[in-house]
Amino acid sequence: MKKPMFIIVLFAALIALFTAATDRAVDGAKGSKAPVFKIERADSLVQLDNLKGEWILLQFWSSADASSRLAAKEYSRLHSATTDSAGNEQFRHLAVNFDRSSSLFREIVRRDGLNAKSQFYVGDGQMRSSLARNYHLESGMKAFLINPDGQIVAVNPSARTIREAI
């Protein structure tokens, strides 16, 4: 009697473990915790985990991806429109560029009138690969609305979705 009971308990435990493991949200997906990262540039350092408590619009874009470039402009306008004259932001906009040329990136930021403070260039290398893998950018650039708890609440959100959330 002990052996069959042990097998039943073991089987139930394995099922519970398997179910718990498969119910977790995938990194970079709606409902998951946003994968943390750190981006540095000459004048600033941004660590995603240091921004907890704030709404964040994290956008990845590239000049090679026309829709992401258009979205970068739209998101930049929305951010400006929701920031008051004292500089109080309703959400933090972090736009990460994947272009291969930093001079091309700077020229697009200038021409498109993007807010340079919210723009970060990663170019080639390990940071780019890590971000692309963690945020599942294999099929194209995306944007993520992240709540103050660090959870992704929308992927490629519209301006309306952002306004309603914040």
pLDDT tens digit sequence for 118-157: 999 997 788 899 999 999 998 899 999 999 999 999 999 9
- Strand duo 92-97 + 119-121: pairing: parallel
Confidence of residue 21 (pLDDT cuts 50, 70, 90): very low
Q: Which residues, 6+ apart, have CB-to-CB distance to 97 below 8 Å?
A: 60, 61, 62, 105, 108, 119, 120, 121, 122
Residues 102 and 121: beta-carbon distance below 8 Å: yes
Indicate whether 7 pLDDT > 80: no
| Percent of the chain residues topping a pLDDT of 90 | 62
What does pTM read for this prediction?
Answer: 0.80
Instruction: Give the pLDDT confidence score for residue 24 in this predicted structure.
Output: 42
Local structure of 39: helix, strand or coil: strand
Confidence of residue 1 (pLDDT cuts 50, 70, 90): low
Instruction: Give the pLDDT confidence score for residue 124 in this predicted structure.
Output: 76
| Percent of the chain residues topping a pLDDT of 70 | 84
Q: What are the chain's domains?
A: 26-165 (3.40.30.10)
- Report, as an integer, the average pLDDT of 11-23: 51
Q: Which residues, 6+ apart, have CB-to-CB distance to 130 below 8 Å?
A: 37
Confidence of residue 14 (pLDDT cuts 50, 70, 90): low
- Report, as an integer, the average pLDDT of 57-76: 95
